[in-house]
Amino acid sequence: MNERGIVAVLGAGMAGAAAARHLAEAGLRVRVFDKGRGVGGRMATRRVGDLQFDHGAQFMRARGTAFAGQIDRWARSGIVAPWAGSERSVGVPSMVEPVRDLLSGLPVQSATTILRLHRDGAHWRLEDASGAVHGPFDAVAITVPAPQVMTLLAASGVILPDIAHASYAPCWSFMIAADTSPPEDLIEPGAGPIGLIAYDSSKPGRPPGIRLTVHATPDWSRRHLEAPRETIVAELVRATRDCLGSELRPSHMEAHRWRYAQVENAVQVPCLYDPACRLGAAGDWCLGARIEAAYDSGLALADAILNDLGHPA
């Protein structure tokens, strides 16, 4: 692995997947590393027996031409479909599918937490939590949430300007299987504990049954961030009942804590990249709280790497 044109991509969410695919299509070799058990990042799906919940991002929307074109390609392939209005698209049969499509055929090493980056002459080596070392790589693209980028860079003695300006709001995600369906596919009260209620079962390609995903508001999630999960479940099932005005009679309930759920302050640049050491970072924290922002940022970082390595995009 010492020829030119080998790039390590850290993070297998939308930004990392977009960067990895763009680099691979330009002729570079990539290796993707992610600390999770699977790909998708916050485009996540939880499966419990026969139950399925999109407990992370609920849908995608396109403002620009690049992501609109990508959504159109996915739609023609049956990978996404409209939901709760023609402007909202969801992955089929789960929100993970668009990321899985971008990473198809690329080497992805899951359950691998990279703790340090080591500069070795003109190359990088990556040290993971088990002590294993990966590389050498000609460039590194980091696409995890900004606080995790900062932790990794600090441990590696590397600085990227402006990244400290990015900040996130947390979110408690509450999943419930019940016997009463909501009046609408998507409800967004945005006040009190409840930010949104998504009728998971109404999304195209989903298994039958009544399943809801509830996202708490940022302020409520921040105040209850360290509360026990059983407390969160009890509070949010009451708030969901109050919001819907009906009994739910749940057969399954659980909660998931997203510490870095939604970008509050973005750095307002497409990506960060240092050509002197061929290392950069990308994510929705660069451009804004949208899946499209993560996609566009990943493409921008890939273009910066391609230009630097002499592979024009």
> Does residue 4 have a pLDDT over 70?
no
> Does residue 162 have a pLDDT over 80?
yes
CA-based Rg of the chain, rounded to a whole angstrom? 20
DSSP class of residue 207 equals: P
Which contiguous run of DSSP H or E holds residue 126? strand 123-128
CATH of region 6-43+96-165+267-308, choose from 1.25.40.10, 3.60.20.10, 3.30.930.10, 3.50.50.60: 3.50.50.60
pLDDT at 86: 86
pLDDT at 313: 59
> Would strands 108-109 and 29-33 be described as parallel, antiparallel, or unpaired?
parallel
pLDDT at 310: 82
User: Which of 2-11, 147-156, 181-190 is the most confident on average?
Assistant: 147-156
Tell me the average pLDDT across 172-192. Answer: 91
DSSP class of residue 116 equals: E
Q: Tell me how long the chain is.
A: 313
Tell me the average pLDDT across 34-39. Answer: 94
Of 95, 107, 112, 105, the C-alpha closest to 47 is 95
Tokens 């009942």 -> residue: 241
Q: What are 241-274's pLDDT values in tens digits?
A: 999 998 899 999 999 999 999 999 999 999 999 9
CATH number for the domain formed by residue range(s) 167-264? 3.90.660.10
Fold agreement between 6-43+96-165+267-308 and 167-264: no
Of 299, 240, 277, the C-alpha closest to 120 is 277
pLDDT bucket at 275, cuts 50 / 70 / 90: very high
pLDDT bucket at 192, cuts 50 / 70 / 90: confident
Burial category of 289 from C-beta neighbours within 10 Å (exposed 0-12, middle 13-18, buried 19 and up):
middle
| Exposure class string for 253-278: b at 16+ Cβ within 10 A, else e | bbbbbbebbbbeebbebbbbbeeebb
Tell me the average pLDDT across 128-145. Answer: 97
pLDDT bucket at 312, cuts 50 / 70 / 90: low
Tell me the average pLDDT across 179-200. Answer: 91
| Cβ contact 291:284 at 8 Å | yes
Give the least confident one: 2-16, 83-97, 271-285: 2-16
> Does residue 145 have a pLDDT over 50?
yes
Q: Tokens in use for 15?
A: 């930004």
Please give the mean pLDDT across all residues of the chain: 94
> Does residue 180 have a pLDDT over 90?
no
pLDDT bucket at 237, cuts 50 / 70 / 90: very high
> Does residue 1 have a pLDDT over 80?
no
Percent of the chain predicted with pLDDT > 90: 90
Give the separation between CA 180 and CA 210, rounded to whole angstroms. Answer: 7
Inter-axis angle of helices 65-76 and 291-308, to 10 degrees? 110
pLDDT at 3: 43
Percent of the chain predicted with pLDDT > 70: 98
> Does residue 104 have a pLDDT over 80?
yes
Where in the chain are the domains?
A: 6-43+96-165+267-308, 167-264
